[in-house]
Every structure is written in C-alpha cells, then in structure tokens.
Amino acid sequence: MHGIELGRPVDVLLHPTQPQALGVDVLCGDGRHRFLPLSAATAGADELAASSPLVLLDLRDDSFYRLEARALSELRGAPVEGSSSLLDVVLGPGWAIVELVLEDGERARRVPLDGIVLPQRRVRSR
C-alpha cells in the first residue's frame, strides 16, 4: 500500500462453484495469514496493491474463506481432463479463470477453460 509492503501472497482462493478467484492469502509481516479480496486490489506488473490495510481480513482456519473457498494449492495436482493434472490457473478480467495450465507427465500446456470443470477440493489425510 503506497509502496509499503504489507505481506506476500502465498495462495489464491477460488470461488467454491464459479471459475473465478476471490482473493489472495497474504502472509503478513507479523506472521499471520490475512485474506485480501481481489475486489479491493489492483494488479500491477510486480505487485498487488491494496486500497487500504483495513481490507486485509484475518484468515483463521475457521474463517468463511478458509472453509468455503478452494485454495489453489489444494487443487494443484488434481486430475483434470483425462490423464492431465492441474498445475496453475490463468486469470483474466474480473479475476475470472480463463485458462488452465495442465501437466501431462513432463509437459505443461495452457488450455482454455471452455467446458472444463475445475477439480473439487482435495481431501488431505492427517
């Protein structure tokens, strides 16, 4: 914000049912994770600018965004479109997912989202 680094993005949180990013998990200088809604951010060449530090919401394990949103880190490696697995997403205007980066063995390829269903949240074993 105004050239002051509030934290570093560590994950992208996706809408639970729509192909769209909701916000970013930001690891702040105090070691806490906070949610930056993308509606309150502006993307620059090498930064996400927040309109105010007050838009950063506490991101506890029981927070709405942790429980309802899909973290991109949890979806990476999930099967998509046959033998491919999800590597990354490409965001377009309005933070909509416009392409998927899929991995086929050693090769990565970008494909339009057209008709491809994003994987659901992967269940982690404890």
Q: Where are the domains of the chain?
A: 7-71, 76-112
- Amino acid letter, 43: A
- Distances from the Cα of 59 to the Cαs of 41, 43, 73, 98, 119, in angstroms? 17, 21, 15, 26, 23
Radius of gyration of the chain (CA): 15
pLDDT digits (tens, 9 = 90+) for 87-99: 999 999 999 999 9
Using pLDDT thresholds of 50, 70 and 90, give the confidence band for residue 56. Answer: confident
H-run or E-run covering 23: strand 21-28
How much is the pTM? Answer: 0.83
What's the rounded mean pLDDT across residues 73-81?
90
